[in-house]
Structure 1
C-alpha cells in the first residue's frame, strides 16, 4: 500500500506544472462534452418505453446515469494507456484483440463520422422547422417548401451545413473555438426555459397525461396483441426499461471525450471527482427537464403546441425561440465534432489504418488537417446520400406528416440512426473497459491504476451489456414474429400493416448494415493484403516499417 501511494505521489510530482485546466474548469468540460439537445429528442421515447410511468422513467434515468458515471470513472484508467486523438479507437487497440480494434476503427470512420453529419443536421432542421413555423404563425411544424421532395431540398441544405463546419471549424481552430463559445452560452438557455415552462404548463392543466404507476395496455384490444402488430416488448416485463436506458445513452453521448483530461489538469488526482460532479450535475439537469417535458406533453413540439394553447401568441413566439435555440445547440455538437473528426482521421492515416494512407502519410498537419478534411468529405457524402434515400423513400412516418415532403420519414429514420450509433459507441467502449479489467490480472499493459476501477468497470459492463443486448434483440425477435401478424386485424384496428412490415425489416437491415460496415472492410482489406504481401503478418511488418504504428 505504501509502495502504491509513493508511486502515485511520484507520478503527481512529475506532472507538468504548467497545466491549464483547474478542477472547476474540468467539471465544466465534462458537462459541456455531453449535455446538449439530446434530452429534447429522447425524453418522449424514455417515457413511452417506461409504459407512461413517470416514476419508472425517472428510475431509468437514474440507472442510466449510474451506468454512465461508472463508465466515466473506469475510463480514467483506460484512457491513461494512450494520449492521442484516437479516443475509443486507441483504447480498443490497446485492450482488445485485432478483430475488435479493426471493427471499432471501421465503425468510427465508416459509420460514426458520416452518420453524425446525417442525423445531427436533421435535428437542427427539425428544430428550425418547429421554431420558424411557430414564429410565422403557422402550425408548429409548418415551415416547409411545399413540395413532394422537401427531403431533397433539406438534404442539400444539411450537406452545406456540414461542409461549412468541416472546412471552417476544422481548418481554423480560432473560428471553431469562437463558434463553440457562442453556442455554449446559447444552448443552456432552452434547457432552463423548458425546465421552468414545462411545470407552469402542467400546473395550468395544459400538459399531457402522465401517471405515477405503469399503464398496462388493454391486451384485449386487437392493436395490443402480437397478431395486431404490437412488439413483444409489451409482453416482456422489465425489458422496456432497458430500451429506455439505451435511449438515454444518446443524451449522454460524448461524455467519454472528457475521460482523457487527466494529463491536462493542474491536479490529475481530482479527475475522477471532476467526472463525478460533472455527470451528476448533468443528471440533475436531465431529470428536471425530463420530468418537466413528461408532464407537459412529452415532446418539444407538443410542448410548443400546449404553450400556444395556454398563452396564445406569446406562447407561440416563446416556443419558436426555444426551438431555434435548440437548433443552435445541436449546431454546437456538429461544430465540436467537425473539429475532432478530421484529426482522429489523420491519426488513423498516420498508423496506416485507412485506404490510401501511404499516399498521404507525409502530408499530415495536426494544426490544419487538410487530408483529414478530404477523407471526411469523401466518406460523408456517399453515406449521407445512401441513408437519406433509405429514410425518405423506404421508411415510415413516426414524427407526423405535418413536416411534409418526406421529412417525417427522414426524421424517424434519423432518430433510429442516432440511437444505433450511440449504442454501438457504448458497446465498443464497454469492450475496452472489459479488456482493461482483464488487464488487471495479466498486467501486460501499463496504466495509472485506480482503486475504484474494478467496481466501476463491473457495474458499467453489466448494465450497458444488458441494455444494449435488449436493444439489439428486440428488432430481431419482432421480425421473427412478423408471420404471426394478421394484416386484416392490424388494418381493422386502426394500424397500418405495411408500416409494421417496413419498419421491422428496415430495423434489422440497418442493424446488419452497422455490423457489415464495422466488420466487412477488414475482411476485404485482409484479402487484398494477403494477395499483395503473402500474409497478414508480412503486411503488418510492412505497416510498422512505413507508418507510426503505436
Structure 2
C-alpha cells in the first residue's frame, strides 16, 4: 500500500470516527428513555419513537447530500469547512458572523457542558452510587469541579496537539460501539413479556407529541457538521463528503436498530435497564465502564472538532480584529467561555431547582440544538438560491434538488411546531427559568453580534458592508504576488 492510499484511509477513518464519536452514544443514553424531555417520555408510544428515528434519518441523509455540495464552497486550500463560513460564502459576512457567535457563546458551550456532566453522571452510575442519591450540595460540587475538570482536560489536550485526539476517536469508536452492540443483541434476544410495546400507558397517538419528540432526536443526531470543520486538516478533500455520507448512513441504521432493541427489552426505554435486567453483576460493571469511556470519547470528539472554531472565525473575516489566532489560543478561549456558561447554568440551576442543578443545561441543550438546525435550514435554502445565481462556485452533486427541498421543508416544519410547543410547555413551569435563559441568551447573542458589527465598521471604514479579504485570502494573494514578482525578476535576469 503506497503512502497516498494510507493517508486517504487514515483521513477517511479520522472523519468517520470523529463524526460517529460526536453523534453516536451519549444521545441514546440520555435522550431516548421515558423520562420527561426524552423521546419516549414525550411521544408516549415506542412505535411513534421508532417512526421518528426513521424520519429524522431520512432528514439526515438528505442533509448530507446537500452539505456535500455546500462543503465544496470551502474545499480550496486553507479554507475552513464549517457552518459559519458556508453562510458567509453563500450570503455574506454578517450572517456568517452571527452563526459563528451563536456557536462560540452558545451552542458549543452547552454541548461541552452536557457531555461533561454526563461523564460525571455515568461514573457515579458505574460505581453503584447514582448521583441522584447524593445531597443537592454534593451533586452540585461533583458536577461543578468534576465537569469543569474533564472539560478542561480535553479542551486543552486538543488545543495543544491534534493527532492524539484523532487517534483516540478511531480507537474509541470501537469502545463506544461495544456496549451499544451488546444492548442491541440483548434487547432483541432477551425479550420479556413486559416491555414498552406492551405497556398500555405507552399507546398514545398524539400529533403534538409526534412533533415535540423530534427535538431530543435532533439532539442525538446533531453535531455532524462539526466533523466538517476538519476539512482544512484533510489533505485529500474528496475524502470528506465520502466519510460524512458513510458516517450518517451508519448512524441512522444503527440508531433505528438500537431503539427497537431498547424498547423491546425494557419497560422504560432506558438502555441501562436492558443491561441491569439481563447481565450478571460483574459484566454490568464492565459495560458501564465502557459507557463512561464512550461519553469521554464523545467529549473528545466535540472538543477536537470545535476547539478551532474561534481561530476559523478570525481567518474567515467574521470578527472586527484581523490578528490571526492560533488553535491553541482558540481552544483556551473556547474553554473559558464554555466553563463560564457551565458554571452559570449549574449555579442558577442549583439556586432555583436545588435537587436538580443540571436542569437548565439539560433543557437548554435540546432548545439550542433546534436553533442550530435552523441555521442548517438557512444554509440549505441559500444553497438552492446559489444553484440559480451561481454566486459561489460549487461541485454539483446528484440528487441535490430533491434532497434540498425535502430537508429544508422538514427542518422548517419541525422547528416551527417545536418552538411553539416548547415555549407553551415551558409556560407551565412555575419557575420558568429555562424560558428566560433562552430569551436572555438570544438577546445576549444579538448584543455581542451588534457590538462586533459596530467595531467591524470602525476598523474597516472603507467597505463596512462588503466582505473583507480574510486572513487566509490575504495570505494566498501575497503568495501569488510573490510568485509573480519572482518570475518577473527571473525573466529580467
Smaller-chain TM-score bracket = 0.7 to 0.9
1:67-89 residue CA offsets vs partner (Å, 9 max, x unmatched)? 01100110011110013335111
2:308 maps to which residue? 343
2:24 maps to which residue? 35
Unaligned runs of 5+ in 1: 1-16, 217-233, 396-405, 483-499
1:345-380 residue CA offsets vs partner (Å, 9 max, x unmatched)? 11223345347x45xx25x44xxx222123223322
Say if 2:438 is the partner of 1:518. no
Equivalent-residue separation in structure 2 for 1:66 and 1:536 (angstroms): 46
2:91 maps to which residue? 96
Equivalent-residue separation in structure 1 for 2:80 and 2:352 (angstroms): 37
Contact 2:21–2:169 (8 Å) recurs in 1? no
TM-score (normalizing by structure 2):
0.82
Contact 1:170–1:176 (8 Å) recurs in 2? no
Contact 2:307–2:334 (8 Å) recurs in 1? yes
1:60 maps to which residue? 52
Aligned-partner SS, 1:444: coil
Contact 1:342–1:372 (8 Å) recurs in 2? yes
Contact 2:88–2:96 (8 Å) recurs in 1? yes
1:507 maps to which residue? 434
**1:140-151 matches, cutoff 5 A:** 141=130, 146=135, 148-151=137-140
Aligned-partner SS, 2:395: coil
Contact 1:130–1:143 (8 Å) recurs in 2? no
Equivalent-residue separation in structure 2 for 1:197 and 1:176 (angstroms): 32
1:90-129 residue CA offsets vs partner (Å, 9 max, x unmatched)? 1111123455323211111111222222111111111112
Q: 1:333 to 1:176 in 2, by over 3 A?
A: same
Q: 1:147 to 1:110 in 2, by over 3 A?
A: closer
Aligned-partner SS, 2:54: helix
1:111-159 residue CA offsets vs partner (Å, 9 max, x unmatched)? 12222221111111111121111xxxx5xx2586656342133211111
The equivalent position to 1:46 in structure 2, one of 12, 15, 39, is 39
Contact 2:265–2:274 (8 Å) recurs in 1? yes
Say if 2:105 is the partner of 1:158. no
Equivalent-residue separation in structure 2 for 1:160 and 1:345 (angstroms): 21
Unaligned runs of 5+ in 2: 475-493
Q: 1:443 to 1:165 in 2, by over 3 A?
A: same
Q: 1:204 to 1:475 in 2, by over 3 A?
A: closer
Equivalent-residue separation in structure 2 for 1:104 and 1:458 (angstroms): 22
Equivalent-residue separation in structure 2 for 1:213 and 1:149 (angstroms): 35
Equivalent-residue separation in structure 2 for 1:266 and 1:161 (angstroms): 33
Q: 1:177 to 1:443 in 2, by over 3 A?
A: closer
TM-aligned CA deviation for residue 529 of structure 1: 5.2
Say if 2:209 is the partner of 1:240. yes
Equivalent-residue separation in structure 1 for 2:349 and 2:409 (angstroms): 33
Aligned-partner SS, 1:295: helix
Equivalent-residue separation in structure 2 for 1:387 and 1:143 (angstroms): 18
Aligned-partner SS, 1:450: coil
**1:48-447 matches, cutoff 5 A:** 48-52=41-45, 54-83=46-75, 84-133=79-128, 141=130, 146=135, 148-201=137-190, 203-205=191-193, 207-208=195-196, 210=198, 215-216=203-204, 237-258=206-227, 268=238, 275-297=244-266, 304=272, 308=276, 310=277, 315-354=280-319, 357-358=321-322, 361-362=323-324, 364-365=325-326, 369-395=327-353, 406=354, 409-447=356-394
Equivalent-residue separation in structure 2 for 1:24 and 1:169 (angstroms): 19
Equivalent-residue separation in structure 1 for 2:439 and 2:261 (angstroms): 37
TM-score (normalizing by structure 1):
0.74
Contact 2:308–2:330 (8 Å) recurs in 1? yes
Contact 1:34–1:252 (8 Å) recurs in 2? yes
Q: 1:25 to 1:116 in 2, by over 3 A?
A: closer
1:45-76 residue CA offsets vs partner (Å, 9 max, x unmatched)? 22233232x22221111110000110011001
Q: 1:501 to 1:536 in 2, by over 3 A?
A: farther
Q: 1:94 to 1:323 in 2, by over 3 A?
A: same
Q: CA RMSD in A?
A: 3.5
